Structure 1
Amino acid sequence: MTEITLYHNPACETSRNTLALIRNSGVEPAIILYLEMPPTRDALKKLIADMGISVDKLLRKNTEPYTKMGLAAGRFSDDQLLDAMLAYPILINRPVVVTSLGTRLCRPSERVLDILPSPQRGAFAKEDGELVIDESGNRVSQ
């Protein structure tokens, strides 16, 4: 059985589409509702390292804490940004997916296809109707 972990916010359309793409590959992922149960500092640092991105690239910028804390100013250290994300998990951009093939911030949701070990099993359209996978399980080129 393939193990996949999804850091998920069910209120987010991109996160829901990512979950649906994972399920379309025949796998039920371990779902972490990170707003309710944020990752530990070490787990968050590992996710960032495994994605090969900087801490600020995981910051969700269109949130009230981002604006109120002045995080756009660029004067905060990585440790301070991690502190902010741990104090306000809404600042963690999502969805983040971990598979045996890698760890990705899946924005847009189709980015998950690059790290899914199993192929898509059938057609898939995003919630907005955009066709991503055809009836044969192949990615539709955009």
Structure 2
Amino acid sequence: MTIVIYHNPRCSKSREVLALIRETGAEPEIVEYLKTGWTLPQLQGLFATAGVMARDALREKEAAAVEKGLKEADEAAILAAMVQHPELVNRPFVTTLKGARLCRPSDLVLQLLDHPPAP
């Protein structure tokens, strides 16, 4: 199974989800989105697959979100800001053949995996 985690190694939730994936014996493709950035089509596809709106994935307390007034902004403005400021996207997102999820709380990733972690 192909597993992709959009990961921020400085985020404890992202590290927890990565550990849960690895506990199943899988090694995911790790995309450090703060380094690679996002494209608009990539975000639109990820959010559509996960069944969330950009607003649902917005880190509202990030400085760029506050400065740009994104709490009251429309979806297009939020998406544009996320492309410009990758840190505005909440993490971690995980994709598999079963779909995509914003894995907060961390155990949501288990819905996307073939096997739960070993005890």
TM-score bin (small chain): over 0.9
1:112 alignment partner in structure 2: 109
Q: Note the 1:27-106 alignment, pairs <5 A.
A: 27-72=26-71, 74=72, 76-106=73-103
Structure 1 residue runs of 4 or more that deviate by more than 3 Å after TM superposition = none
Aligned residue identity for 1:57: D
Partner of 2:15: 16
Q: TM-score, normalised on structure 1?
A: 0.80
Q: Does structure 2 retain, via aligned residues, the 8 Å contact 1:14–1:95?
A: yes
Higher RCO, 1 vs 2 (CA within 8 Å, ≥6 residues apart): 2
RMSD of Structure 2 on Structure 1 (CA): 1.0
5+ unaligned residues in a row in structure 1: which ranges?
122-134, 136-142
CA positional deviation for 1:117: 1.7
In the TM superposition, residue 41 of structure 1 has moved relative to its aligned partner by 1.0
Which of 1 and 2 has greater Rg?
Answer: 1
- Give the Cα–Cα distance (whole angstroms) in 1 for the partners of residues 12 and 21 of structure 2: 14
Aligned-residue sequence identity (percent) comes to 41
Which one-letter code corresponds to 2:43 in the other structure?
L
Give a deviation string over 1:74-117, Cα, whole Å, max 9, x none: 2x222211110011111001000001111000011111011112
Higher helix share: 2
TM (norm. structure 2) is 0.95
| Amino acid across the alignment from 2:62 | T
Deviation at 1:119, TM superposition (A): 2.7
| Aligned equivalent of 1:140 | none
